[in-house]
Amino acid sequence: MKVREIFCVAILLMIVLCSSINAYAQSKAGTSAAPELLIPVGAAGVALAGAGISSVSGPGAIFWNPAGLDVMSVSASALFSHRSYIADMGVNYLAVAGKFESIGSFGLTVRTFQIGDIHVTTEFQPDGTGEIITPTFFTIGMTYSRKLTERISVGVTSNIVSESFGNVSATGVAFDAGIQYRNLGRINGLSLGICVKNIGTPMKYDGSALYIKAFASGYERDETYYKVEAATFQMPSVIEIGLGYERKIGEQFDLHLSCAYEENNFGIDEYRIGAEFMFQNFLAERVGYLYSTDPSGTKSIFQNFSLGFGVFLEKSVGIPVVIDYAYVPVKYFDGNHIIDVRIDF
């Protein structure tokens, strides 16, 4: 009873937070700190358009819903993912996780956002100064997850976010928290997932590049250095609520259907649906659909469908390796390809 009470209170708190997060979201679009935190990672989840937050498990759950980490069936697992993002940018993601039966599961993640080299220009040298800078964006996270009962699990992640380019940098801390409830209403295969992401400290850039030479207006003073005070930006908070249903079809097939809704504090709300068809626990085929719009007609460039597949090699070759792939079409840019390699121990 205590577990159920805690679960119900947690749901109510998240719903209240959901209402406050979305106030005036569209008017703040594009003004958050660390927008790279919103870039989905993990091919299996991306192929489902992010709809599987109620049933995702293992190291791939850390991004989507940390409550699913302790649901993994192995004692340890490692995942490496690469996403070819828009405009020749890329996202690399590494997650390692270990399960301790009497304590819960712990995970460590490292995410890097590759932007590439940028030629420096100024108002006096618009063709370039000859200087090249390479922005460095990365996130390091620690996750703890535990099954409270056979049906309920919770999880929390703490992320340290670091951004730097040229001679300026910013650092912040963001937290994710999630809940999963399996066999909801005592219906076998029905699951509920709720996750709040990127709740944390504001970020503000600082560094020597913010000092510029100028004359003080109205004063008889030689040209000197003045510091430009950078603005402070909030983390891109979101809340997600999802449902899933899993059903076995005969002896060889499994079908998993899922849906989710995301409220974004700095952007467009998203509606997601996904389906996974598993054959003999060897081959998984996945498809998802993401819809996002606002009353003004603004839409996300990551519109329409996503698809992918997963191959589980342990039964065929005896190696506990899983390879996942996902494809996401993008308006105005080349489509995104996501490739994962997961090793279980």
Residues 193, 65 contacting (CB under 8 angstroms) = yes
The verdict on residue 36 lying in a domain is yes
The verdict on residue 76 lying in a domain is yes
CA distances, 343 to each of 77, 129, 237, 326 (Å): 6, 46, 31, 18
The verdict on residue 325 lying in a domain is no
- Dihedral sign for Cα 29, 30, 35, 40, please: positive
Q: How many CA atoms lie within 13 A of 7 on its CB side?
A: 20
Residues 53, 270 contacting (CB under 8 angstroms) = no
The verdict on residue 274 lying in a domain is no
Residues 323, 341 contacting (CB under 8 angstroms) = yes
Helix, strand or coil, per DSSP, at residue 235: coil
Higher pLDDT, 295 or 208: 208
Quote the pLDDT of residue 12: 55
The total number of structural domains that make up the chain: 1
The verdict on residue 265 lying in a domain is no
CA distances, 294 to each of 20, 206, 269, 332 (Å): 18, 35, 8, 20
| DSSP code at position 320 | -
pTM: 0.90
Of 212, 189, 234, nearest to 32 by C-alpha is: 234
Give the tens place of pLDDT for each residue, 222-249: 888 888 899 999 999 999 999 999 999 9
* Domain encompassing residue 155: 2-245
Residues 323-345, mean pLDDT to the nearest whole number: 94
Quote the pLDDT of residue 6: 61
The verdict on residue 235 lying in a domain is yes
- 210 Cβ contact partners less than 8 Å away, ≥ 6 residues apart: 168, 227, 228, 229, 230
The verdict on residue 277 lying in a domain is no
The verdict on residue 295 lying in a domain is no
- Dihedral sign for Cα 214, 216, 221, 225, please: negative
Residues 65, 56 contacting (CB under 8 angstroms) = yes
Give the tens place of pLDDT for each residue, 7-51: 555 665 555 555 555 545 555 666 789 999 999 999 999 999 999
Give the tens place of pLDDT for each residue, 47-63: 999 999 999 999 999 99
Spatial separation of the C-alpha atoms in residues 318 and 291, rounded to whole Å: 40
